[in-house]
Amino acid sequence: MSVESAIPVALQASVIVPARNEEACIAACLRSLTEQAGVNFEIIVVDDASTDRTPEIAKSFPQVRVVQPPALAPGWSGKVNAVEAGAAQARGAWLLFTDADTVHLPGSLARAITEAEKRQAALLSYSPEQEVRSFWEKAVMPVVFAELASSFRPVEVSNPRSAVAAANGQYLLISREAYAAVGGFASVATTLLEDVAMARAVKASGRKTFFRYGPDAVRTRMYRNFVELRDGWTKNLVLLFPSTNRLAALRLMEFVLIVGCATLAVVGAAKERAHTGIVAAGVGAVIYVLFVMRIRKAHFRWDANLFSLLGLPVFAYLLLRSRLFHGRGKVSWKGRLYDGEASQVDNRTFQKAAKTEITPAAPLPPL
């Protein structure tokens, strides 16, 4: 860790890593963080009641401070409780909230702070490069992230005149001043989508936010099996996409049309019905090209893009499952059961939210 006294105080940062049962990935995350250079910083791991070796692994890094969050307050999400506890211990002028399953490229922390300052952004967030290895990851993740890219376009998120607000909690850098001004994560403690809620709060305060795809800074593998993937997106999808039923119907219809047209084209050729086969092939090709153009916005490798066609019906299933589980108040994540959200992160209501007074949290400790 760099401790060069020549680095201006304004570049000091606190990296806050909430961790609950992350023994499979936290060592790689902390190794990449401790090797950062060009900025004075500290690393705080908040051990969120882990039952595996997460705290032991974190404590094996001399540069890392491991803290415990307070008891979970009623209605609060576990992650918000953890990151708020980490922020209360932080001493940096910038706070970087990042997940334990991330890996940070060399020099990325210093570059991110510089980018935020050059853009005069109080909050900067990167969407990490997504690593996908299993079939389910390759099939589903490009579909989800393509939809996110369409709904939360970075150019609109970063435009102060736009109502669209978004952030990715896997890499969320915020100035200490802005964090205190909007009440910290305590002001959005009851949401399961705290990153987007924080971005909305910062933007509502009149401060600038900046969001982009950040493969030059950070990468992550969000889920390692289908159960994790299913439960993770069940928690989030209905909050990200308010028109859940409509979107599920559209994506399922898209899959049926592509597969149906391909089937008709093959059958038409086999039975020497040239006209039927040509029409079906033409319609299917147009729909598929439009699908591929949308999927490519998610920045996945070609093999994942190829599998993603099979992810369309799975995405539709996850959307409906998310709607159902939130409606029943049975959203489970990391061994905790949460009530379903009463409202979604719908950016069409952003301007109304911008008029809402934000309750300040307790002040952060002085620098």
**pLDDT value of residue 12:** 84
From CA 85, how far away is CA 58, in angstroms rounded? 17
Give the distance, in angstroms, between the CA of residue 44 and the centroid of all CA atoms in the same chain.
Answer: 20
* pLDDT < 50: residue spans in the chain: 1-11, 342-363
From CA 245, how far away is CA 320, in angstroms rounded? 7
**pLDDT value of residue 360:** 40
**pLDDT value of residue 358:** 38
Q: What are the start-end ranges of the E strands in 152-200?
A: 171-175
The domain 9-133+147-224: what is its CATH number?
Answer: 3.90.550.10
Strand, coil or helix: 244: helix
Nearest to 223 by CA among 211, 214, 215, 231: 231
**pLDDT value of residue 184:** 97
φ/ψ of 46, rounded to 5, equals -100, 105
From CA 46, how far away is CA 68, in angstroms rounded? 6
Q: Per the structure block, which two tokens stand in for 123?
A: 């909050």
What is the end-to-end Cα distance of the chain in Å, rounded?
Answer: 19
Give me the residue spans of the domains in the chain: 9-133+147-224, 244-350
Length of the chain: 367
From CA 145, how far away is CA 130, in angstroms rounded? 9
Cα–Cα distances (Å) from 258 to 52, 137, 291, 308, in that order, read 45, 21, 9, 13
The whole-model pTM stands at 0.87
Burial call 253-263: b when 16+ CB within 10 Å, e when fewer? ebbebbbebbe
From CA 182, how far away is CA 83, in angstroms rounded? 15
**pLDDT value of residue 229:** 97
**pLDDT value of residue 336:** 87
Strand, coil or helix: 45: strand
CA torsion, ordered 84, 170, 138, 25, to nearest 10 deg = -80
- For 204-238, how does the pLDDT look when each residue is reduced to its tens digit (9 = 90+)? 999 999 999 999 999 999 999 999 999 999 999 99
Residue 222 CA neighbour count, 13 Å, CB half: 24
**pLDDT value of residue 355:** 38
Q: What is the C-alpha R_g of the chain?
A: 22
Q: Per the structure block, which two tokens stand in for 203?
A: 């933007």
**pLDDT value of residue 9:** 44
Strand, coil or helix: 9: helix
